[in-house]
Structure 1
Amino acid sequence: MSNLTLYNVQALIILDSEGHRILSKYYSPKYPNALSPPSHTPQTLKDQKSLEKSLFEKTRKSPSASSSSGDILLLDGHLVLFKQSLDLWFYLLGGQGENELLLNAGFVGFLDALGLLFRGQVEKRALVDALDLVVLALDETFDDGIIIETDPATIASRVSRPRTDVASVGDIQINEQTIMNAYQTVRERMQRGLGAL
C-alpha cells in the first residue's frame, strides 16, 4: 500500500566520530493515518541510544559513507540515509516504504545548508559552537517529520546571522544635506502628482 501521509522523516541524528550523540531529533506523526504504515520511531531515550549505537556500528566501516552522495540502507524497519563529513556522521531515518528520492532531497538540502553556513568546513567543533544555527536549519528543513524546504541557499539565508560588515540603520549618518535631498525629492513628486490631476 502506498504512503498517504506527509510525515516522511522519522529522525535526524548527528553523531561524532566515536558514535556519541551531538544532536538528534525524533519525529512521530501527531495524527497517525490508518492507511500509513506503522512508525518504528523509538520513544524512550534507551531505545534511541540503542538505535544510534546500531546505526553507528553498521555504518562506520562503510566505504561509501564519505563519498559525495552518502549511502542508504535498511535497518530495523527504517530506511536510513547517511553521510560522513570529517569527524561527524549524519543520519536521516524514514519509514521502510518511504520515497528514497524525497528523503534524499531533504537530507542533501540540510547538509548543503550546513556547508553554506560553515563555509564548507562542517566539523564537530564548529557544529557544537554554532549548535543554535544547526537546530534552526533543521527546523527550517523538517517540521514534525514533514520536509518543508530542500533548497540549501533558502535554508541558510533563513537561519544565518546578519553580516557585521554591512552598515545597519543605526550607523547611517544623517546630516543637513541628506535632509535637504529628501525634502527636494518629496516636493518634486508632490508637484508632479498635483500636475497630473
Structure 2
Amino acid sequence: MSTDYMQTILKPMLSGAQMTVLLFFIAIIASLPLGFLLTLAVRSRFKPLSWLAQAYIYVMRGTPLLLQLMFICFGLPLLPVIGQYLVLDRFIAASLGFILNYAAYFAEIFRGGLLAIDRGQYEAAQVLGLNKWQTTTKVILPQMFRIAIPAVANESVTLVKDTALLYAVAVPELLHYAETAVNRDFTVVPFFVAAVIYLLMTMVLTLFFKWLERRFTFE
C-alpha cells in the first residue's frame, strides 16, 4: 500500500478521531460527577429520591445505549406538544445520551466502592473525633475512589469503543470515515488503520489509569 494512499485516508480518519476524543472527554467529565450524585441519591434516606435514582439506573443499564441514542436523537422530536422544543444537534444529543448512560454505570461503581469500605473505618473516624463531613471527605471518599479506579478504567475504555455508535446517529467519526474509504476503494486497509487508532487511544487511557492507580496505592 502506497504512502500517498495512507496519507489520503489518514487525514479524514484523524479528523474523525478528534470527534471521538471530544465525545469521550465530554462524556467522562460530565458522567463521573453525575454518577457520584446518583450514588448519593440511591443511598439517601429520603426514599422517593432513592427509588427514583434506582429506577433510573435500572432503565439506563437495562436498555441498549444505541436505543437510548436513537430515542434522544430521533424520538424526542416526535413527542406530542413538547417535541418541537427537543430537536437537538446530533452531536449534542449523542453527548447527552452517553452522559446519561455512563452516569448510571459509574453510579453503580461508586456504590460498590462505598460498600467495600469496612464499617470499622467509620467507627475509627468517630473515635478520632472527626465530624461527618471530615469522615466523608478525608476517610471514606479517598478509599472509595481508590477501590473504584480499576472499574472506572474499564468503563472508560469501553466508552472509547462505544463512541463508534456515533455512526448510527449520523455523526461523522472515525468509523464513518473508515467505512467510507472501504466502500470507495474496495480495500479493508482503512478498517485496520481505524483499529490501530482505537488501540492507541485505549493504550494511552490504560497507561493513565495504571499511573493513577499506582499513585493512589502509594499515597
TM-score bin (small chain): under 0.3
Q: What TM-score results when the alignment is normalised by the length of structure 2?
A: 0.21
Richer in strand (by share)? 1
Richer in helix (by share)? 2
Q: What TM-score results when the alignment is normalised by the length of structure 1?
A: 0.23
Relative contact order, CA 8 A, sep 6+: which one is greater?
2
Which structure is larger by alpha-carbon Rg, 1 or 2? 1
